[in-house]
Amino acid sequence: MAIDNEKKASDQVFDIGGFEYLIDKDFMAKVTPVKIDFNGFGFMISSSLPQGGACGGCGSSSECCG
């Protein structure tokens, strides 16, 4: 998730509460359904994409999960 100041033809645009959210249409097709929540400290994103092999410690692979 990142701030993007430029809309592209390949973006799907959602207007929620006066804020525009953009997501690439091809990516949206892969992650649907996707849910983005603000929990008071940051954003939580869940989607249909499988979670990789990361353990959550270093975030790169299961090799760091000794």
Residue 33's nearest CA partner among 15, 45, 19, 16 is: 45
Per DSSP, 51 falls in state: P
1 falls within a domain: no
51 falls within a domain: yes
What is the per-residue pLDDT across 4-60, written as a single tens digit (0 to 9) for each? 778 899 999 999 888 888 999 998 998 899 888 888 898 888 888 887 755 555 554
17 falls within a domain: yes
38 falls within a domain: yes
Cβ neighbours of residue 28 under 8 Å, at least 6 residues apart? 12, 34
4 falls within a domain: no
Number of domains in the chain: 1
Decide if 52 contacts 60 (C-beta within 8 A): no
> Tokens representing 22?
């953009």
Domain that holds residue 16: 11-64
49 falls within a domain: yes
54 falls within a domain: yes
